[in-house]
Every structure is written in C-alpha cells, then in structure tokens.
C-alpha cells in the first residue's frame, strides 16, 4: 500500500500520526520537490489530477484500488487493524 501525502497536508498528518503505517505495510510517498520518485509513482497510477484535487490518496498496490480522502483512508486502516 502507498499513501501519497505532503508535509503541509493536515489530513495527511492525521493519518501518519494516528496509525503505525510501517506496521500496517503502508509506504508513505511524500510529494515534495526533492522526491521525484513519489511523483513518478503518482503518475504511474494515473493519479496526478486526483492529487491536484486533494490529498491524501492511498493505493492498494496488489489490486490498484484507490482510496481518496482522509476519512475513507482512516476507515480502511481501522478495518485492517481489526482483521
């Protein structure tokens, strides 16, 4: 799983601070000027336009399912913790 975020995104920060993402198997990709790999990954999943509309965005790599919005991502991660 990949979480696309930016350091200045408050909703992204809520997710990063509220969950042990590493334990859940979530790779955080910070969209910053000095991280071209994150932008390349975002483009690979064809999510650049969606990211311009708002972050955070999570991609489940195995199935290429895309989850947008902090609340939806939190619900997904909370359900993952229960299982």
Q: What pLDDT score was predicted for residue 83?
A: 77
Tell me the C-alpha to C-alpha distance, in Å, between residue 40 and each of 4, 33, 44, 52. Answer: 11, 12, 6, 15
Q: What pLDDT score was predicted for residue 61?
A: 87
Q: Which residues contact 63 (CB under 8 A, 6 or more apart)?
A: none
Q: What pLDDT score was predicted for residue 64?
A: 84
- The per-residue pLDDT for range 28-78, each reduced to its tens digit, is 999 999 999 999 999 999 999 999 999 999 999 888 899 999 999 999 999
* Better pLDDT: 19 or 80: 19
Look at the block and give the residue holding tokens 């999943």: 45
Is the Cβ–Cβ distance between 9 and 34 less than 8 Å? no
DSSP string, 30-62: E--TT-HHHHHHHHHTT-HHHHHH-S-EEEETT
């Amino acid at each position: 799983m990949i979480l696309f975020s930016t350091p200045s995104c408050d909703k992204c920060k809520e997710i990063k601070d509220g969950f042990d993402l590493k334990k859940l198997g979530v790779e955080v990709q910070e969209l910053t000027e000095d991280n071209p790999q994150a932008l390349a990954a975002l483009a690979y999943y064809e999510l650049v336009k969606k990211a311009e509309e708002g972050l955070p965005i999570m991609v489940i790599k195995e199935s290429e399912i895309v989850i947008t919005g902090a609340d939806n991502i939190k619900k997904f991660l909370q359900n993952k913790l229960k299982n």
